Structure 1
Amino acid sequence: MTTLLCVLALTASLTAPTLAAAATDEEAAANATTDLDPELEAELGRAIDLGITYLRGQQADDGAWSDSVGVTALALRAQLESPQAMPGDDPMIEKGVAFILKHVNDDGSISETNHNRNYNTAVAMTTLAATGEPKYEAVIADAQRFLQGLQLDEADGYEPSHNYYGGIGYGGDERPDLSNLYMALEAMKATDLDPDDPLWDKALTFVTRSQNNSETNDIEVSVDDGGFAYMPNYSPHGEGRSYGGMTSAGLLSLLFAGVDKTDPRVQAAYDWIRANYTVETNPNATGKQGLFYYYNAFAKAMAAYGEPLVTDTDGVSHDWRRDLGKRLLALQDADGSWVNKDSSRWWEGDPNLVTSWSLIALNHIHGR
Structure 2
Amino acid sequence: MKLMTKLLTFLFTFLLAFSVSATDASMDSGLKSKAKRATDNGLRYLREQQDENGSWSGSVGITSLALRAYLESRRKYTEDDGPFITKPVQFLLSHVKEDGSISESINNRNYNTAVAITALQATGNPKYKQTIENGQKFLKGLQLDEKDGYKKDHKYYGGIGYGGDERPDLSNEYLAIEAMKATSLDPNDPVWEKALVFVSRSQNNSETNDLKWAKNDGGFAYMPEYSPHGDAVSYGSMTHAGLISLLFAGVDKNDPRVQSAFNWIRANYTLDENPGAKKNQGLFYYYNAFAKSMYAFGEAEVTDSNGIKHNWRNDLTEKLLGLQDKDGSWVNPDSPRWWEGNKNLVTAWAVISLNHVIR
TM-score, with normalisation over the residues of structure 1? 0.90
- Give yes or no for the alignment of 1:232 onto 2:239: no
- Give yes or no for the alignment of 1:213 onto 2:210: no
Could you tell me which residue of structure 2 aligns to residue 22 of structure 1? none
Residues 232-251 of structure 1, C-alpha deviation per residue, up to 9 Å, x if partnerless? 11101221100000000000
Q: By percentage of residues, which structure has more helix?
A: 2
Distance 2:70 2:309 in 1: 32
Q: Which moved more, 1:243-252 or 1:34-43?
A: 34-43
Match of 2:298 among 276, 298, 306: 306
Distance 2:214 2:201 in 1: 12
Could you tell me which residue of structure 1 aligns to residue 93 of structure 2? 101
Question: Is the 2:117–2:135 contact (alpha carbons within 8 Å) kept by the matching residues of 1?
Answer: yes
Match of 2:316 among 305, 317, 324: 324
The one-letter amino acid of 1:40's match is: L
Question: Is the 1:337–1:355 contact (alpha carbons within 8 Å) kept by the matching residues of 2?
Answer: yes
Could you tell me which residue of structure 2 aligns to residue 154 of structure 1? 146
Matches within 5 A, 1:167-186: 167-186=159-178
- Give yes or no for the alignment of 1:68 onto 2:59: yes
Question: Is the 1:244–1:273 contact (alpha carbons within 8 Å) kept by the matching residues of 2?
Answer: yes
Distance 2:158 2:284 in 1: 27
Could you tell me which residue of structure 1 aligns to residue 36 of structure 2? 45
Distance 2:208 2:76 in 1: 42
Distance 1:167 1:34 in 2: 40
Distance 1:86 1:286 in 2: 37
- Give yes or no for the alignment of 1:337 onto 2:309: no
Distance 1:318 1:37 in 2: 12
Matches within 5 A, 1:326-365: 326-365=318-357
Distance 1:251 1:230 in 2: 13
Could you tell me which residue of structure 1 aligns to residue 18 of structure 2? none
The one-letter amino acid of 1:49's match is: D
Report the number of matched residues: 337
Match of 2:156 among 164, 167, 176: 164
Change (3 A) 1:201 1:285: same
Change (3 A) 1:161 1:76: same
Question: Is the 1:222–1:239 contact (alpha carbons within 8 Å) kept by the matching residues of 2?
Answer: no
User: What SS does the corresponding residue of 1:310 show, helix, strand or coil?
Assistant: strand
Distance 2:143 2:25 in 1: 38
Question: Is the 1:233–1:239 contact (alpha carbons within 8 Å) kept by the matching residues of 2?
Answer: yes
Please report how far the alpha carbon of residue 223 of structure 1 lies from its aligned counterpart in structure 2 after TM superposition.
Answer: 2.7
Matches within 5 A, 1:124-273: 124-273=116-265
User: What SS does the corresponding residue of 1:160 show, helix, strand or coil?
Assistant: coil
Could you tell me which residue of structure 1 aligns to residue 46 of structure 2? 55
Question: Is the 1:44–1:329 contact (alpha carbons within 8 Å) kept by the matching residues of 2?
Answer: yes
- Give the root-mean-square deviation of aligned CA atoms: 1.2
Change (3 A) 1:111 1:86: closer
Q: Which moved more, 1:168-177 or 1:110-119?
A: 168-177
The one-letter amino acid of 1:344's match is: P
The one-letter amino acid of 1:118's match is: N
Could you tell me which residue of structure 1 aligns to residue 68 of structure 2? 77
The one-letter amino acid of 2:215's match is: V
Distance 1:32 1:273 in 2: 24
The one-letter amino acid of 2:50's match is: Q
Gap runs ≥5 in structure 2: 1-21
Please report how far the alpha carbon of residue 173 of structure 1 lies from its aligned counterpart in structure 2 after TM superposition.
Answer: 4.7
TM-score, with normalisation over the residues of structure 2? 0.92
Return structure 1 stretches of 4+ with deviation > 4 angstroms: 31-34
The one-letter amino acid of 1:69's match is: V
Please report how far the alpha carbon of residue 221 of structure 1 lies from its aligned counterpart in structure 2 after TM superposition.
Answer: 2.5
Could you tell me which residue of structure 1 aligns to residue 267 of structure 2? 275
Please report how far the alpha carbon of residue 41 of structure 1 lies from its aligned counterpart in structure 2 after TM superposition.
Answer: 1.1
Please report how far the alpha carbon of residue 40 of structure 1 lies from its aligned counterpart in structure 2 after TM superposition.
Answer: 1.1
User: What SS does the corresponding residue of 1:52 show, helix, strand or coil?
Assistant: helix
Could you tell me which residue of structure 1 aligns to residue 14 of structure 2? none
Percent identity among equivalent residues?
64
The one-letter amino acid of 2:33's match is: A
Larger Rg: 2
Distance 1:138 1:34 in 2: 42
The one-letter amino acid of 1:102's match is: S
The one-letter amino acid of 1:337's match is: S
User: What SS does the corresponding residue of 1:318 show, helix, strand or coil?
Assistant: strand
Residues 202-258 of structure 1, C-alpha deviation per residue, up to 9 Å, x if partnerless? 000000000000010011124321000000111012211000000000000000100
